[in-house]
Amino acid sequence: MLKLCSLRIFNRLSRNNLVINLRRSHSKIGVIGVPFDKGQLKGGVGSGPEAFRNLGLIEELQGLGCDVKDFGDVTYEQIEGLIVKNMTALGHIAACQKEVSDSVIRIINEGRMCLTIGGDHSCSIGTIDGHVKAKGNIALLWVDAHADLNTNATSPTGNVHGMPVALLAKELSDYWPYLPGMDWQQPRLSIRNIAYIGLRDIDSYERLVIDKFAITAFGMEDIERYGIIEVTNMALRRIDPNNNLPLHVSFDIDSLDALEAPSTGTPVRGGLTLREGIQVMEESYRTQRLSAVDLVEVNPGLGSPTDVKITLEAAKHIIRAASGHSRRGQSPENVLDLPQQTFHSVSQSPHNS
Ligand SMILES: NC(=[NH2+])NCCC[C@H](N)C(=O)O
């Protein structure tokens, strides 16, 4: 009986997998690495791109049927003498992020989804700038434990990885002094088109700004209450009510719980499970407008070799989901109703015990 039952299930599954394989979308992806660590003070995060390449990320995405073009790592030359109070390494940030922005424009104009591997979260200054320049306007999901909404006047650290959203938002432009070297970057994104998911470590000024401008922000308590799929879709509806904007997901690995992704510079407990992170990406992919993804703040220099492995693997699952492939290797838009129920009934089956 068990044999018969399993065989039937196998046949049904393989039939459906065949359909899925035939229908599987062949995402066109352009990958850039940004080995950049000057947005914060801990060494190691700059070796993120190398670690992902060594892990075979590009080959894995190709193996899933994606058309992947690797644009290599961004390089830059620091601009000397750029000094702004409480804004560390501006000469590096300004020079590197200009290159990142130009690379993103090139990739998006080739009709590819741009996947940027960081580096720290200051990389998103360049990726989002480039995306907005290429597409006109975009909707942004910022998946992170932190709001990264400080200016140099409010930052408790002076680290620029805590400032990108404030640099990008139009409504906050008056809160900045003149920033030498950053003339290429104008705040072009409206706060209406930005939503946070996963927040749980917000500085007091950031809290004031979120309240004052009514920024869409879903903390962990919202995820507990509504579930991650509902939260993601609420966020998407808020930032793109007409369903017509290209979507950018800026995914900081510290949005995941520190147990799921320990090798990161500013870990915070009580975060997303890996499954929830994957679901954010699956829902984003399902819009069919996912146009750029940043995966940042993986620091292979922090923690034990096991910590590093866990963190890289978690990030890889998030990236697979962004490329249209969930953990079972299916494109989310093609998931048929069968597998989950079948697995359920298998484990419930009296013949199984
Ligand atoms: N992307 C990050 N990990 N950001 C952490 C920011 C921490 C702190 N809020 C700061 O501004 O310095």
Atom 4, ligand 1: residue with shortest CA distance: 162
State pLDDT tens for residues 246-291.
Answer: 999 999 999 999 999 999 999 999 999 999 999 999 999 999 999 9
Q: Is 3 helix (H, G, I), strand (E, B) or coil?
A: helix
* pLDDT at residue 352 is higher than 50: no
Atom 10, ligand 1: residue with shortest CA distance: 162
Q: Is residue 193 part of a domain?
A: yes
Contact predicate 158/203, CB 8 Å: no
Q: Is residue 1 part of a domain?
A: no
* pLDDT at residue 11 is higher than 50: no
* pLDDT at residue 189 is higher than 70: yes
Confidence of residue 27 (pLDDT cuts 50, 70, 90): confident
Is 161 catalytic? The answer is yes
* pLDDT at residue 22 is higher than 90: no
Q: Is residue 290 part of a domain?
A: yes
Q: Is 67 left (phi over 0), alpha (psi -120 to 50) or beta?
A: beta
The CATH number for 47's domain is 3.40.800.10
Helical packing angle, 274-286 and 228-239, nearest 10°? 40
Q: Is 120 labelled as part of a ligand binding site?
A: no
Q: What is the pLDDT of residue 4?
A: 38
Q: Is residue 5 part of a domain?
A: no
Is 146 catalytic? The answer is yes
Token pair 């954010």 in the structure block, residue: 280
Is 148 catalytic? The answer is yes
* DSSP assignment string, 294-328: EEE---TTSS-HHHHHHHHHHHHHHHHHHTT--TT
Q: Which residues pair with 316 in a beta bridge?
A: none
Looking at the 3D structure of the chain, how many domains does it have?
Answer: 1
Q: Torsion angle of alpha carbons 112, 118, 121, 179, nearest 10°?
A: -80
Distance CA(68)–CA(81), nearest Å, equals 38
Q: Is residue 258 part of a domain?
A: yes
- Cβ of 162 below 6 Å from ligand 1: yes
Q: Is residue 160 part of a domain?
A: yes
- Ligand 1 atom nearest the C-alpha of 202 is 9
Output the CA–CA distances (angstroms, integers) from residue 244 to 294, 310, 338, in the order listed.
21, 36, 31
Phi, psi of 272 (to 5 degrees): -65, 145
Query: Which of residues 306 and 339 earns the better pLDDT score?
Result: 306
Q: Ligand 1 centroid vs 202 CA: distance in angstroms?
A: 9
**Average pLDDT estimate for 15-38:** 70
Domain span at 127? 29-96+108-333
Active-site entry in 37, 120, 129, 144? 144
Q: Is residue 13 part of a domain?
A: no
Predicted complex ipTM? 0.98
- Cβ of 232 below 6 Å from ligand 1: no
* pLDDT at residue 342 is higher than 50: no
- Cβ of 148 below 6 Å from ligand 1: yes
Q: Is residue 263 part of a domain?
A: yes
State pLDDT tens for residues 116-150.
Answer: 999 999 999 999 999 999 999 999 999 999 999 99
